[in-house]
Amino acid sequence: MPLLKSLLRLFLGKRLPHLDGELAVAGLEAPARIRRDRLGVVYIDAQTTHDAWWALGFCHGQDRAGQLEIYHRVLHGRLAAVAGRDGLPMDQLSRRLGVRRAAEAQLAAADEDVKAQLAAYADGVNAGIARGGKKVAHDLTLLGTKPSRWTAADVQGMCGLVTFALAANWDIELARLRVLEKHGPDVVRALDPSTPDWLHATSPPGTAAGVVADRLAADLELLRELTGTGGSNAWAVAPRRSATGRPILASDPHLIPTAPTQWYLASLRTPEWAATGATFVGIAAVGVGHNGTAAWGVTAAHMDIADLFIEEVGPDGASVRDGDGFVPCEVLREIIGVKGQKEHVETVLVTPRGPIVSPSLGGPGPALSLSATYLSGRPYRGLLKIHEAKTPADFHALFEQASTTNTGVVYATTAGDIGWLVAGEVPIRRSGAAVLPLPGWDPRVGWDGLVPHEALPRELNPAAGYVVTANNAPRAGAEGPWLGDDWLDGYRATAIGLALAARDDWDLPATIALQTAVTSLPWRELRAIVLAAPRPDADAERAAVLLEAWDGEVAADSIGASVYAHFVAAAIGRVVRGLAPEAAERALGMGDSKLLPHNLLFARRTSQLVRLLRTQPPGYLPEPWPEVVGLALADAVRALRKRRGKKEARWAWADVRPLELMHPFGDQRPLDRVFNVKRIRTGGDATTVSQAAVDLRNPSGNPIGVPTLRAVFDVGAWDEARVVLLGGQSGNPWSAHYADHVPLWERGETHPLPWSEAAIAAATVHTLALSPAPDA
């Protein structure tokens, strides 16, 4: 790699941003200052609110121009113009979804201060890309394109795009439909994971979530006329559970591992307000951070905010059935440029329920339209203004405008309050619930308004002395409006809750240690069952011996963890393929598009396996359950031998499944050797606090959900705040800050995030002074 990297550097140059000196730029209202510490974390001093957000955009443009370009093209459906025909499927789906179209209406309805914030940030992005360095980013040169110009509507659209990516429960509905088409309703019921009755809900803290009710029966009945019968942790502890007498808050969002990471660390300070923490590239907000009075963290809430509807398109190709007749659709003609080929014309039908998306999802079948609250024209405030929140009432009020979010928010204040809320717009379904695509023309289905904001779950200063959320069921029992069924396994939330309840001396080192914990709760339930199973051959015997000696820690250096991970994947695969051989790939998590390569049906398979092996229902599979266990044990050892050879010393979990940060160029040789960050050693699986979820069809493949950021705050002792990225601040592989956080992240360590002027000044290694220049 050094030779290749040197050759590319000779050809392209380093293209590093301006870090020191003075720079006059158009768009600023007054002089501003950008300081950077030794890991590239930025500290912005601005004299106006406009300039603070402008300067954040400028820094994003300086350090992440290539990433911003990809985001912009995904949002607009313009990847094929630089990637050729390989980018066309994603462009087609993007144009059909219409996230960018919806953003125009959302922005028009937004409050004036939100519009100003997004516009200032977008202008700063454009200035940072154009003036932040001597040359444009390597990514743009290699793509052979000029940078796209950002607008306020693009920033609003990014909010919707992130919500789409993090909350696409409609992909689970589609996967269920695939299974239904191939195998019928009984198999759908059998394959749909349910929650073990001891795993924790978020509200009240420490209570059991309860078994998810069988929501499928009513939906299947509605479908019968058509089909026949035939990834984040966040928590806070109250002062009484803290060694410091102050609240402690932790947040570690779990996302796809990318180079560069999605997060960017920044401090913004004006005479009126200040905030510091992690910003999401392309969005003008401090997503995880504090403002000197309150700290906050976020997770994906996984509420059901989107539905697929089966549509019957009329003979004219421009209408859909509605009741007994047909109603006209809005017909859009989208022109998509394709590099090296003629333009592609994509005809989009927008039904009364939403756009028809199915042609972009591939395969035969009925037309499917998508209704999603993030495609509405309603305004959004929420996370964009979270830096202003200082009290529980402030946090609650912010999310009254929550059209483009689906978020769990944990907060803590210097007054000693801790709280949690879920934010988003959840539709009220006429059918009561929606876990399968239903006929859009049926008057018994569809939406009747939204669940009131005040009816969404929340906790304030609970008696337990802590709040925790980890993509799990938000509340115990079935009380309140229906919010969804597609929560992730509750093992992470349960592990965190059990740990928080066990002590009252929490401090930052202990909190960081909990963020990096890799204890397997499912193995505690499975151990006796697995080790008692018959061992059909020497491979199964060896697997059992290695598991018997395993301590249950899914650690990077553990051989037992590798055997366990491959056993779980093999056992789940045998169950799913035994029940639904023709739809197994969907049921195991295969997605329908490049935008969403995985569906979240895989995310509760472990708890389903635990339930099945504990209850061992007769007649579920052709083989008896003990035999399934024995065969899966043998499968595990054979898979490891095939992957890593016969020497078991080479079977350590981090060697079997190393973590790689993938750049958009990372699937192209030899560019992967320059742009990807390879062979990061980490432990964990989908159920450990430090998550490292994998595709169940390839348990030794690259993780698909990991902590891309870790942040901890001793609320009030702000100079003690600690953060670390999975990657670095820069998107330039020739920058020292491309992956300089990785060694810290790998060791479970963090970096200071200073707050006071004295601490920031002591940490500063670069200073760039910006001054207004006349507009061109």
Q: What is the pLDDT of residue 223?
A: 37
Q: Is residue 65 part of a domain?
A: no
Q: Collapsing DSSP states into helix, strand and coil, what is residue 174?
A: helix
For residues 310 and 368, what is the distance between their CA atoms, to the nearest angstrom?
Answer: 5
For residues 131 and 17, what is the distance between their CA atoms, to the nearest angstrom?
Answer: 9
Query: pTM of the predicted model, to two decimals?
Result: 0.92
Q: Is residue 256 part of a domain?
A: no
Q: What is the pLDDT of residue 432?
A: 83
Judge contact between 598 and 505, C-beta under 8 A: no
Domain range for 612: 521-680
For residues 367 and 309, what is the distance between their CA atoms, to the nearest angstrom?
Answer: 8
Q: Is residue 663 part of a domain?
A: yes
For residues 46-75, b (16+ Cβ closer than 10 Å) or e, as one string? bbbbbbbbbbbbbbbbbbbbbbbbbbbbbb
Tokens of 188: 């759908």
* pLDDT digits 0-9 by tens, 122-140: 999 999 999 999 888 888 9
Q: Is residue 190 part of a domain?
A: no
Helices (H), 413-552: 491-501, 508-515, 521-532, 538-548
Question: Nearest 5°: phi and psi at 695?
Answer: -70, 120
Residue 584 to residues 56, 191, 707, Cα–Cα distance (Å): 45, 10, 28
CA atoms within 13 A on the CB side of 580: 27
Q: What is the pLDDT of residue 216?
A: 34
Helices (H), 391-520: 392-398, 491-501, 508-515
Q: Is residue 37 part of a domain?
A: no
Report DSSP letters for 99-133, one per residue.
HHHHHHHHHHHS-HHHHHHHHHHHHHHHHHHHHSB
Judge contact between 9 and 744, C-beta under 8 A: no
Judge contact between 600 and 172, C-beta under 8 A: yes
Q: Is residue 204 part of a domain?
A: no
For residues 267 and 582, what is the distance between their CA atoms, to the nearest angstrom?
Answer: 52
CA-angle at 387, arms to 385 and 388, nearest 5°: 75
Q: Collapsing DSSP states into helix, strand and coil, what is residue 709?
A: strand
Judge contact between 176 and 435, C-beta under 8 A: yes
Helices (H), 64-215: 65-76, 80-83, 88-97, 99-109, 112-131, 138-143, 152-166, 170-183, 185-191
Which H/E stretch holds residue 747? helix 742-747
For residues 567 and 530, what is the distance between their CA atoms, to the nearest angstrom?
Answer: 10
- Residues (pLDDT < 70) of the chain are 1-12, 167-171, 192-231, 360-366, 476-478, 582-604, 775-776
Three-state SS annotation for 302-332: CCCCEEEEEECECCCCCEEEECCEEEECEEE
Q: Is residue 580 part of a domain?
A: yes
Q: Is residue 280 part of a domain?
A: no
**Number of domains composing the chain:** 1
Q: What is the pLDDT of residue 484?
A: 84
For residues 402 and 392, what is the distance between their CA atoms, to the nearest angstrom?
Answer: 17
For residues 658 and 646, what is the distance between their CA atoms, to the nearest angstrom?
Answer: 19
Q: Collapsing DSSP states into helix, strand and coil, what is residue 630?
A: helix
For residues 527 and 514, what is the distance between their CA atoms, to the nearest angstrom?
Answer: 23
CATH of the domain at 621: 1.10.1400.10
Tokens of 507: 């401090």
Judge contact between 466 and 460, C-beta under 8 A: no
For residues 534 and 544, what is the distance between their CA atoms, to the nearest angstrom?
Answer: 10
CB neighbourhood size of 168 (10 A): 26
